[in-house]
Structure 1
Amino acid sequence: MALRDKFLDEASNQQSVLVCASTHHMLEANQRLKEGRIKTELVPTPQGIGSACTTAIRFSREQEHKVEQLLNQATGIEWEDIYPIEKKDRREDWQDLLELDLRDKFKKTLSRVAQDEVLSKSEVITLLEAESDDELEALFESANRMRQEMVSDMVDIRAAIEFSNYCTKNCNYCGLRRDNDVKRYRMTEDEILEGVAEINELGIKTVILQSGEDPWYTTDKIVSIIERIKEEFGMNITLSLGERSYEEYKIFREAGANNYLLKIEAANRCLFDQINPDDDYEIRRQHTKWLKELGYITGSGGMIGLPNQTIENLAQDILFQKKYGIHMIGVGPFLPADGTPYQDYSAGDFLLSLKVVAVMRLVCQNVFIPSTTALASLTEDGQTEGLKAGANVIMLIMTPPALQENYQIYSNKNMVDLDFAIQSILEADRKIPPYINLDQLKRIDRSEINAENTTG
């Protein structure tokens, strides 16, 4: 074993996590520990301790006594417990997979995953390079078992309202880039709330408010929208507005926003610079840290098949999500958009996209991974196959139909609706969430959905 791998394994054996009573108390505790010179990291709460929606504070196990002292000396911080992070050994349960005809290097890497070992970049690349039928079977089935262990069989369904396609940025891949000839629109607050009402009627608990980077929607305007959604519907809110200031993130969080999606798109600095000519890699990383520090359930992700992207770059993307403790990781194929500098490039490879989903599940484990709209746009059964590869979320497009064709980050987007999502879930042999109002289905006969397909 390489010296670096040995160090990482020893470090992972010596870690503990602190779980607090709420996000507020978690942030207060994290600040107190930092003041006490404890090195901390905010991570998705490990499986068996809490859900993928919560954040824990990870620190070196040798600091446990000092952490307890600092917490006991502080006032007003409510914490549940400190848990050692114990490794699991799944080799016996995965024996059928490990006995397949695998390359020695691949088998050794998969065995290390089964033992909860920390993978190096070269080992992540080994998994991504799965090619034979047996290796692909082992990869996808191990990811599916990890998904079932970590987040169960239920597929979470969320819905997005793309409320503005104005954007100040000029990203080379994006159909909304400021120099593109696009019919621009902005939805009013009332129009947005009408869309939220439709989502609420479907039974969905989380609305995603997505736009280009559009400063016309000031802090006060976004706060007003958040507060009305909370007051009228009590729904969880994910914001996807691009880069805002730290103070704005803080204000949105205090107003009631629960989640924030800010994709890194490419964790390799050179590739990031190529696709985002007017963005800064370090600023994007800093904003990711801010969002976690402010207590958001944080989303990130990237694209597969970008021009000049390598397998090593994809391994970097996966390890970035692990390092920053991202809760929601959206990865899908690059799809070209008309009118952009990348319009003539080929779409990302479907099989490689599924492999990235699978390896992301194996490496990051207790997180939300969407079977993305991009997968559904690349091939009709894309979302079904994404779910089979380890994903556990589907996002509906609930932008008003008259505006949908003008929100084309990439061309020929599949406007995933409730029926399409439910059909994908059924075909993947997964469970429909209990909160969905199946009376809202338009093309699927509800009588065909039996109790085995639902949870609750």
Structure 2
Amino acid sequence: MEYCIIICNSTQHMLNADKILKENSIKTELIPAPAEYGSVCSTAIKIDAYNVDVAEKLLKINSVSVKGIYPYKIRKLDGLLEIINKGLNRDIKAVLEKVEKGIELTEDDIVLLLSADGDENLSSIYKAADEMRKAVVGDVVDIRAAIEFSNICRKNCLYCGLRRDNLTVDRYRMDVNEIVETAKELKQMGIKTVILQSGEDPWYTEDKIIEIIRKIKKETNMRITLSIGERTEEEYQHFREAGANNFLLKIETTNREIFKNIHPDDDFDYRVKCSQWLRGNGYINGNGNIIGLPGQTARDIARDILFFKEMGIHMVGIGPFVPAAGTPLETYPHGSVDMTLKTVAVTRLVLKNVFIPATTALATVDKEAQVKALMAGANTIMLISTPSKYRNRYRIYSNKNMVDLKTAYMAIVKAGRKLPPYINKEYIKEIV
């Protein structure tokens, strides 16, 4: 079956278009917009090609501003098998042949890649993912920065060092002015996107979050990512209207039993509903999983990846489980770096045009793992930019590695990738 994608001239027009098409019984799928069509709207609407004429008329009648309607291109990697190892496993080769031809991978294909071992097999998977990354998002590594503004949390997740019942944590909250001033410092560095991250702290009401968003927008005009957990649909809508651009809310695992075990006071269906609300409000939607949770299998991870695809996720954060002191899982071993890297690579092969960070958790387990992730499909690094007096108190896991601009610069250089042009060159001179 052939498909087309509709690119609108704004997020609001995209949401309106999607609603109109659905109301007229046209099946739609929201997907990350291919990079070649620019950034006027980060989400494209995918429809069956035979519906194009009707869709075009409906959108024109309803005054929806459309940049264009284009054929949906199958992303192929011509010549892939010529540049990867010749001695790789036959079954893995067959899956990579599907990648080369642009054929969608099945759940069993994904499980096969995630279960691969041996240097030749792994290096071939990583090479394929790196080629896909290069084809869809290029060589520049996006650098973003996080302000961890509160380590107080109402939730009691078993794996998280910020959990409500962890009495070893020295709690803090940053006030609005501290947060805004820190964002202004990041603006001077050249950072374009600030991530506002916290535990689920009810002290930061809807009004307080809106005040923070508006002040950062007024003072810096930076893009804002929120990572503040589960809220109501109305709150997500109001944060978006106030100026928030992105939202990161990880599912952690799509295995309901594991989810229930590690989230004693969470509801899986509500978490999914939150992601749907975020998508419906036009956020650049971030999600992700933890690799190495108790009881997790390669098939669980495969289903995570397919969930991200189904949800039209734009950014996928993938990190190994890292134990945190004062939690029920503090003696549990950390997740496998190899499995995490395989997940990064396979996520790139399946989702293609998405942001995938080389996560801080990877750097905590293995100081070279961020470089390895960049060479296996990742294209983003998040700096830890919390003020120093709070930084060591934000311990979602123990022995958290510090990722600053120097760390990011060194990883990018070692991976043979390019710095983003927006970083202030004066800061690079200080590092070099």
Map 1:300-315 → 2, pairs under 5 A: 300-315=287-302
2:279 counterpart residue number: 292
Match of 2:112 in 1: 126
> Equivalent residue of 2:158, what SS?
coil
- 1:45 matched residue in structure 2: 33
Structure 2 unmatched ranges of 5 or more:
none
Task: State the AA in 1 paired with 2:160.
Answer: C
In the alignment, the residues of structure 1 paired with residue 35 and residue 425 of structure 2 have an alpha-carbon distance, to the nearest angstrom, of 30
Percent identical:
51
Matches within 5 A, 1:173-188: 173-181=159-167, 182-188=169-175
Aligned to 1:36: 24
Matched, 1:245 2:232: yes
Q: Which residue of 2 aligns with 1:57?
A: 45
Q: Is 1:381 matched up with 2:368?
A: yes
SS in structure 1 of the partner of residue 60 of structure 2: helix
Cα distance, 1:383 vs. partner? Answer: 1.0
Q: Residue 203 of structure 2 aligns with which residue?
A: 216
Q: Which SS does the other structure have where 1:67 is aligned?
A: helix
Q: Distance in 1 between matches of 2:286 and 2:274?
A: 12
Give the superposed CA RMSD: 1.4
Letter matched to residue 47 of structure 2: F
Aligned to 2:146: 160
**Alignment TM-score, normalising by the size of structure 2:** 0.97
Q: 1:150 aligns with which of 123, 129, 136?
A: 136
Q: Map residues 167-206 of structure 1 onto 2, 5 A cutoff.
A: 167-181=153-167, 182-206=169-193
Contact 1:44 1:52 in 2 (8 A): no
For each residue in 1:5-55, what CA deviation from the matched residue of structure 2 results, as whole angstroms up to 9, or x when unmatched?
A: xxxxxxxx4222111011111011111111112121211013433459710
How far residue 291 of structure 1 moved from its aligned partner, in angstroms, is: 0.5
Kindly provide the amino acid, as one letter, of the partner of residue 274 in structure 2: H
Whole-angstrom distance in 2 between the partners of 1:188 and 1:206: 20
Q: Does 1:343 align with 2:330?
A: yes
- The more displaced of 245-254 and 40-49 is 40-49
Q: For residues 62-118 of structure 1, give each alpha carbon's deviation from its aligned partner in whole angstroms, at most 9, with x where no partner exists.
A: 22122112112213x100122221324424243232x61122211111111111111
Residue by residue over 1:368-394, the C-alpha shift from the partner in whole angstroms, topping out at 9 and shown as x without a partner, is 000000011111112111111110000
Distance in 1 (CA, whole Å) between partners of 2:313 and 2:212 is 26
Counterpart of 2:431 in 1: which secondary structure?
coil
1:369 aligns to what? 356
Deviates more, 1:49-58 or 1:355-364: 49-58
Alignment partner of 1:346: what SS?
coil
Return the offset for 1:441: 4.7
> What is the distance in 2 between the residues matched to 1:53 and 1:36?
23
- Report 1:431-446 matches (<5 A): 431-441=418-428, 444-445=431-432
Query: 2: distance between equivalents of 1:51 and 1:378?
Result: 35
Q: Output the TM-score relative to the length of structure 1.
A: 0.92
Task: Output the amino acid matched with 1:132.
Answer: G
Task: Give, in whole Å, the separation in 2 of the partners of 1:261 and 1:408.
Answer: 18
Task: Indicate yes or no: 2:61 matched with 1:73.
Answer: yes
Alpha-carbon shift at residue 205 of structure 1 (Å): 0.5
Partner of residue 252 from structure 2, selected from 261, 265, 270: 265
Residue number in structure 2 paired with 1:454 = none
The alpha carbon displacement at 1:271 in A equals 1.5
The residue correspondences of 1:402-421 to structure 2 (distance < 5 A) are: 402-421=389-408
Cα displacement string for residues 362-418 of structure 1 (whole angstroms, at most 9, x for unaligned residues): 110000000000011111112111111110000000111111111100000012111
Give the number of equivalent residue pairs. 431
Contact 2:80 2:128 in 1 (8 A): no
In structure 1, what residue type is equivalent to 2:46? R
Aligned twin of 2:6? 18
Confirm or deny: 8 A CA contact 1:398 1:417 kept in the other structure. Answer: yes
Residue identity matched to 2:284: I
- Say whether the 8 Å CA contact 1:52–1:327 is kept in structure 2: no
Structure 1 residue runs without a partner (length 5+): 1-12, 446-456
Q: Is the 8 A contact 1:396 1:417 kept in 2?
A: yes
